[in-house]
């Protein structure tokens, strides 16, 4: 995985503001959002008191900023990606054509939160999970 010059600048800026070095930075042009993948246990520090750090970053960058904590297992990482929705289970299937399909089961009352407006959260997860796990399709039920 190679980072662009802009992504490296964004990671450096996050480090300057919060003291935390992000593991990765994903720029989503469709939603004008920058998603930082941060080490486990650091999301609270990165967000800051009452969201101060994220608000400052968003103002400087002129984009929405989202923070996702890294996790060492696919299931835990998926849970972090879909917060605050409660993920009840994750199953990875491989199709005959080699494509990987991730089935995500969420609490019924959280399905709307998990999917997001116009599928925003699923699209974000698809981008990030393709990058790390080479997952082609995501289904939320």
Residue-wise pLDDT tens digits, 108-130: 999 999 998 888 899 999 999 99
Number of Cβ within 10 Å of residue 20's Cβ equals: 19
- Mean local confidence (pLDDT), 19-45: 94
pLDDT at 44: 94
Measured distance between the N- and C-terminal CA atoms of the chain, rounded to whole angstroms = 30
pLDDT at 1: 67
Number of Cβ within 10 Å of residue 38's Cβ equals: 25
Contact present, 22 and 36 (Cβ < 8 Å)? yes
Average pLDDT of the chain to the nearest whole number = 93
Q: Which fold has domain 5-69?
A: GMP Synthetase; Chain A, domain 3 (3.30.300)
- Mean local confidence (pLDDT), 26-39: 93
- Mean local confidence (pLDDT), 18-44: 94
pLDDT at 2: 79
The DSSP secondary-structure symbol of 44 reads: H
Residues of the chain with CATH 3.30.300.20: 5-69, 74-140
Q: What is the pTM of this model?
A: 0.91
- Residue 26's pLDDT band (boundaries 50, 70, 90)? very high
CATH number for the domain whose boundaries are 74-140: 3.30.300.20
- Neighbour-count burial of 81, counting CB atoms closer than 10 A to its CB (0-12 exposed, 13-18 middle, 19+ buried): buried
Distances (CA, A) of 97 to 63, 100, 105: 38, 9, 24
**pLDDT 10s digits, 71-103:** 999 999 999 999 999 999 999 999 899 899 999
Phi/psi region, residue 46 (left: phi>0; alpha: psi -120 to 50; beta: rest), is: alpha
- Residue 18's pLDDT band (boundaries 50, 70, 90)? very high
**Which residue, 81, 86, 63, is CA-closest to 71?**
81
pLDDT at 3: 81
- Mean local confidence (pLDDT), 35-55: 95
């Amino acid at each position: 995985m190679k980072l662009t010059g802009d992504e490296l600048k964004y990671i450096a800026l996050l480090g300057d503001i919060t003291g935390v070095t992000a593991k990765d930075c994903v720029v989503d042009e469709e939603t004008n959002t920058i998603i930082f993948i941060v080490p486990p246990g650091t999301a609270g520090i990165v967000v800051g008191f009452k969201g101060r750090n994220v608000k400052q970053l968003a103002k400087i960058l002129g984009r929405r900023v989202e923070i996702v904590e890294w996790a060492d297992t696919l299931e835990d990482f998926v849970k972090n990606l879909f917060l605050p929705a409660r993920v009840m289970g994750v199953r990875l299937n491989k199709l005959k054509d080699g494509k990987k399909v991730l089935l995500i089961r969420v609490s019924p009352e959280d399905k709307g939160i998990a999917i997001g407006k116009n599928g925003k959260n699923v699209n974000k997860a698809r981008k990030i999970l393709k990058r790390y796990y080479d997952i082609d399709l995501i289904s939320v039920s």
